[in-house]
Structure 1
């Protein structure tokens, strides 16, 4: 039973790392398509890639995965640092939604997802 729970927690941490990476790629791709290629008004750039819904859904997924895996990690290994680091990252991601599209949003998001991924990595290391 214990090894099953550890495997589930590890999968959740890996999912958190994957989601963080996808979010960072999405952010950088948005900067390239809109900022450098000027494709902000087309369907891909304007209506899909920059849709606020994508950011909200991504943040909700990050919060759910983070709370489950990082929270259970604290219960398992007793170290609060991954939860605090992940919480800071999620806060920055939420702030990015509030500032609107632009450089500030991209910077906040990339720093936020980097912190969340780092927190998941630390959580996995403490669990083993």
Structure 2
């Protein structure tokens, strides 16, 4: 039983770290998209492809809900799950508003909240 508990904790920590990395990559993607497409007119067909955004949101949902859910089970604090859920909601809303400044702002705020939630989760919900 102790082995199983240790394995679950290790998985949760890895997923939280993956969530932080994915959030950072998403933020970089958004900023580069705005700069390269908006200012230089480069890469729009790749950087603004809806599939990239849907896949990114899908990954964020899976990683976020699993790792933050494990965190609630581990430390009993809902705050990281609520914060992460709000961030994921903003990321979903960003998909709905379409390309433009609103999408960028919503996504950056959303991924920041998700990353913050994963960091809090790593620190035992503190």
1:47 deviation in Å? 1.6
Distance 1:31 1:82 in 2: 29
For the pair 1:59 / 2:33, whether they are aligned, the reply is: no
Contact 1:76/1:127 (CA < 8 Å) preserved in 2? Answer: no
- Between the aligned partners of 1:17 and 1:100, the Cα distance in structure 2 is 24
* Partner SS, residue 65 of structure 1: helix
Q: Deviations over 1:2-34 (max 9, x none)?
A: 222111100000000010000000000001001
Q: 8 Å contact 2:79–2:125 — kept in the other structure? A: no
1:71 equivalent in structure 2 = 69
- Please report the RMSD computed on the Cα atoms of aligned residues, expressed in angstroms: 1.2
Which of 101, 104, 125 is 2:102 aligned to? 104
**What's 2:41 paired with?**
38
* 1:91 corresponds to 2:89: yes
* TM-fit CA distance, 1:38: 2.2
SS of the equivalent of 1:126 reads coil
Give the counterpart of 2:12 among 1, 6, 9: 9
In structure 1, runs of 5+ residues without a counterpart are 40-44
Structure 1 partner of 2:30:
27
Structure 2 unmatched runs, 5+:
none
User: Number of matched residues?
Assistant: 123
TM-score, length of structure 2 as denominator length:
0.94
How many angstroms apart in 1 are the aligned matches of 2:32 and 2:79? Answer: 31
Name the counterpart of 1:125.
Answer: 123
Q: Deviations over 1:32-55 (max 9, x none)?
A: 00111122xxxxx22211001100
Residue aligning to 2:21: 18
TM-score normalised per structure 1: 0.93
Deviating beyond 4 angstroms after TM superposition, the runs of 4 or more aligned structure 1 residues are: none
